[in-house]
Structure 1
């Protein structure tokens, strides 16, 4: 049953990505569709029209496999070895930008987990005081 929830919730997240891609193509703007989709999801979560629990299991799954999601980008960079030989500084840029993404992603997920833990603890304390 958990696999079904993961598939459905990942499909919802993918739907936000596709919506962002559609809007980006429709309006011909330079912002990537994935960012637009993420902003739409963030906005819906912020105004509480969309509940986090609707995508919680799927997003936790994606966070768990996040290191695997970075491998294709790294392997794809191997296709451009001639570019790296011609412009060695581009190798540093790719490495630094990849490290920034990994660090920010892990910091954000840790912060979100900490906030969730604080919320659970405060709810438990409220229940204990009643």
Structure 2
């Protein structure tokens, strides 16, 4: 029953993110609204990490399974992608590297900020 409750909390926050996407006229995906909302809820201690931790860990562990439909979609669309596969590969590699760099820098910044707050 604990897992249903945790999953319900995560779904509720995700649903609110979907609603925010339609209320706030910015080109931001609903998942980002949900993540920001979850961060705010966890940081303000409205919900403690323990209330969603096990289900969140489970969802992260099965995340690779969520990419199977996308991979199948690429295989089905091969006739369309065949003529542009080189630019697609280059763009994918470049954007992946950029995301990794930005994520690393943000993480380093957050770690420094947390250390400064502890002192």
Q: Which whole-Å CA distance do the structure 2 matches of 1:60 and 1:87 have between them?
A: 37
Q: Answer yes or no: is the 8 Å Cα contact 1:21–1:34 preserved in 2.
A: yes
Among 83, 86, 97, which residue is 2:83 paired with? 86
Q: Which whole-Å CA distance do the structure 2 matches of 1:68 and 1:97 have between them?
A: 22
Q: Which runs of 5+ in 1 are unaligned?
A: 108-130
Displacement, 1:59? 0.7
TM-score (norm 1): 0.63
Aligned length: 102
Moved more, 76-85 or 38-47: 76-85
| Residues 1:9 and 2:25 aligned together | no
Q: Which whole-Å CA distance do the structure 1 matches of 2:95 and 2:15 have between them?
A: 25
* Deviations, residues 65-98 of structure 1 (Å, cap 9, x unaligned): 1221221222222232123212112145457767
Among 62, 66, 73, which residue is 1:65 paired with? 62
Q: Name segments (4+ residues, structure 1) moved above 3 Å.
A: 91-101
* Deviations, residues 44-74 of structure 1 (Å, cap 9, x unaligned): 1112222001101111111221221221222
Among 34, 52, 56, which residue is 1:55 paired with? 52
* Cα RMSD, aligned residues only: 2.9
Q: Answer yes or no: is the 8 Å Cα contact 1:45–1:52 preserved in 2.
A: yes
TM-score (norm 2): 0.68
Q: Which whole-Å CA distance do the structure 2 matches of 1:97 and 1:14 have between them?
A: 29
Displacement, 1:42? 0.3
Q: Mark the CA change 1:10 to 1:76 in structure 2 (over 3 Å): closer, same or farther.
A: farther
Q: Answer yes or no: is the 8 Å Cα contact 1:20–1:34 preserved in 2.
A: yes
